[in-house]
Structure 1
Amino acid sequence: MTDNARFADKIALITGGTSGMGLAAARRMLDEGASVVITGRDQARLDAAAKDPDAGDRVLAVRADAASLPDLDALMETVRERHGRLDVVFANAGIAVFGPVAEMTEADFDDAVDVNFKGVFFTVQKALPLLSADAAIVINASWTLHRGLPIGSVYSATKAAVQSLTRTLAAELGPRGVRVNSVSPGYIDTPMYRGAVPEDEADAIRAQVASGRIGTPEEVAGAVAFLASADAAYVNGQDLIVDGGLVAAVAEPSRLTMAA
């Protein structure tokens, strides 16, 4: 554990916590003192993610599909039995569905909406009875809700939906003392990113980023930890873009030229 114990005695739920940004956020909160509940659909990956030698019994891995309401009900009952409350919820579970709009199928649409929007909505809804008086919710959105991406019609729409949900929930839950914010990661080096980006396009994508590199899951985890902590006690209904300047700044022309 680091000297920073912002989450000492806190209970955090992280959906999609077996890899990428979810796993990095789980490790960050564990490192800062939290007890963490992680979910995922793959039992083997859950078992591997839960093996943190420094965490002791502070990790609980629960197999759950964020798009399944019965799974979410069972998850919350498990949390209630083990911990009795939640202080932090990172609604992170999501899937990548990309392609030209003309090629999107009904199955593509349903899969993306079920996990990326429905899953987030009902994760929060089912967690409400467990939330402590000063709980914090962080929703994983995306830079694509801020800037058009040609092959991102369905994916971007689901992320815009959860960012809108963030503002609505902040207004609705604020009187309870519960804060709700979102993070919008840019290009982050996760298994999902590596699976979606062809190797021959990596340089061109990196060249779009003002910082000149792809982000790390740990950098997003730092933003999530800030929003979930008392350091952000007066931050509510906001979207924190963690993208190396992808949305807000134009990359250096020479770097664009070299990647062309």
Structure 2
Amino acid sequence: MLGAGGGLGSALCAALTEAGAEVVAADAPAAQASDRHLEADLSQRGAAAAVVERAWQTYGPLDVLAHVAGLYPAQPALATTEELFDTVLAVNARSALAATTKLAELCAAAGRAATVVFTSSGAAHRPRPGTVAYSASKAALEAITRGLALELAESNVRVNAVAPGFVDVGSTLNPMPREYVDAVGAAVPMGRVGKAADIVPNLMWLSHPSSSWVTGQVLVVDGGASLGSPSTPSWIAR
């Protein structure tokens, strides 16, 4: 699992472990989400592929690759430097591509199948102010999902993604004011923002053999936010 130390990643790691999976967690040195922990700076070229190969060599063949890394720097477009943009794209999209192609290479050599699941975002389709780099990275990730799924299907490697709406995971890296979280939740048709518990079961399903004929799909889990505003215009209310 890449990005295992974040709020969503740690929740998924715990759920998979409870379900009996042996999880190899890859993240920054300070984020130890599993006893099987490998350090990886996903912003660096070669890091994602290297950590997948290291996990395979150290712990044995991998059945599932979960990429839940998500760098979210809230910056206005005019303050988004090329360096920041490149870093966000590297962590959120490039590392997913590199990790998956390395896994596919290892699986082909071993004659094995595998399942890959990414975490996209509703921001890929409905950006908010300050999310130019993040939204672009998640849109790229969805294109990567479909492209990889098409090319790797004959190798029996499935690739899917879950696109959550706004999820409050209590992140210390990207803390959000409570007033902001509440305001976002009020605009969601189901009346609240998401929680890790809303997203994790969907990631687990796409990782499970019960979804074995599903590939190249992006599952939107957003409380209806992508449908638009839940408010009823006055002319309809009358």
Matches within 5 A, 1:1-260: 14-43=1-30, 45-46=31-32, 49-50=33-34, 59-131=35-107, 133-192=112-171, 195-252=174-231
Equivalent residues, number: 230
TM-score (norm: length of structure 1)? 0.81
169-178 or 197-206: which moved more? 197-206
Deviation at 1:124, TM superposition (A): 1.4
C-alpha contact 2:53 2:102 (8 A) present in aligned 1: no
Q: Who is 1:8 aligned against?
A: none
Deviation digits for residues 6-45 of structure 1 (CA, Å, limit 9, x no counterpart): xxxxxxxx111013111111112112221111111133x3
C-alpha contact 1:182 1:239 (8 A) present in aligned 2: yes
Partner of 2:63: helix, strand, or coil? strand
Q: What amino acid does structure 2 have at the position aligned with 1:116?
A: N
Q: What amino acid does structure 2 have at the position aligned with 1:234?
A: W
The share of aligned pairs that are identical, in percent, is: 31
Q: What amino acid does structure 2 have at the position aligned with 1:183?
A: V
22-31 or 74-83: which moved more? 74-83
Cα distance in 2, alignment partners of residues 200 and 117 from structure 1: 30
C-alpha contact 1:66 1:120 (8 A) present in aligned 2: no
C-alpha contact 1:141 1:159 (8 A) present in aligned 2: yes
Q: What amino acid does structure 2 have at the position aligned with 1:90?
A: A
Partner of 1:211: helix, strand, or coil? coil
Cα distance in 2, alignment partners of residues 156 and 24 from structure 1: 23
C-alpha contact 1:207 1:251 (8 A) present in aligned 2: no
Partner of 2:225: helix, strand, or coil? coil
C-alpha contact 1:185 1:242 (8 A) present in aligned 2: yes
C-alpha contact 1:66 1:123 (8 A) present in aligned 2: no
C-alpha contact 1:189 1:216 (8 A) present in aligned 2: yes
Cα distance in 1, alignment partners of residues 51 and 229 from structure 2: 43
C-alpha contact 1:187 1:193 (8 A) present in aligned 2: no
Q: What amino acid does structure 2 have at the position aligned with 1:184?
A: A
Q: CA 1:179–1:83 in structure 2 vs 1: closer, same or farther (change >3 Å)?
A: same
Runs of 4+ in 1 over 6 A off after TM superposition: none
Partner of 1:181: helix, strand, or coil? strand
Note the residue ranges of structure 2 that are not aligned, 5 or more in a row: 234-238
205-214 or 124-133: which moved more? 124-133
207-216 or 243-252: which moved more? 243-252
